[in-house]
């Protein structure tokens, strides 16, 4: 019997922090990926980490706010085609309208702006798959595929 390496997908988490019809965006800087474009607090899930633990960690690291598990709601899942050597992505988009702390830039080496924008009028330089996920979530569409 020949053992083959199993197909692997990279999981990532994203958080839509929402306030008064606005969504918190961060502008990427010096990351080598989509620099100069807006994104929400997000990141990869670490080995042995749950989705909710990952997004709670990422949002604290990036914008300094604490979100409780009970305030997180999964609003969209996106399966993205391979865009680099790391492979396909399974993206989990959560929303929260409650948190502790005032959002601010905690990663100035990776981000040059943290700002609120109307969720229905995003900046032109918003990462395209994020724009798609926000639109899908607004329509109640739970699943999408991107880049195939």
Q: Distance (Å, rounded) from C-alpha 103 to C-alpha 96?
A: 13
Q: Is 122 helix (H, G, I), strand (E, B) or coil?
A: coil
pLDDT > 90 fraction of the chain, expressed in percent and rounded: 86
- Judge: domain 10-146, CATH 3.90.79.10: yes
Read off the pLDDT of residues 45-61 as tens digits, 9 standing for 90 and up.
999 999 999 999 999 99
Read off the pLDDT of residues 52-85 as tens digits, 9 standing for 90 and up.
999 999 999 999 999 999 999 999 999 999 777 6
Per-domain residue ranges of the chain: 10-146
């Amino acid at each position: 019997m020949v053992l083959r390496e199993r197909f692997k997908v990279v999981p990532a988490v994203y958080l839509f922090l929402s306030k008064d019809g606005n969504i918190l965006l961060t502008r990427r800087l010096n990351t080598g990926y989509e620099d100069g474009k807006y994104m929400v607090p997000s990141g990869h899930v670490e080995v042995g980490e749950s989705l909710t633990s990952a997004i709670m960690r990422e949002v604290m690291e990036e914008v300094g706010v604490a979100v409780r598990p009970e305030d997180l709601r999964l609003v969209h899942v996106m399966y993205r085609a391979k865009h680099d050597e790391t492979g396909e992505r399974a993206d989990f988009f959560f929303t929260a309208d409650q948190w502790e702390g005032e959002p601010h830039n905690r990663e100035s080496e990776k981000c040059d702006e943290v700002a609120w924008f109307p969720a229905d009028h995003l900046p032109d330089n918003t990462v395209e798959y994020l724009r798609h996920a926000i639109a899908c979530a607004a329509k109640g569409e739970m699943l999408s595929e991107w880049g195939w």
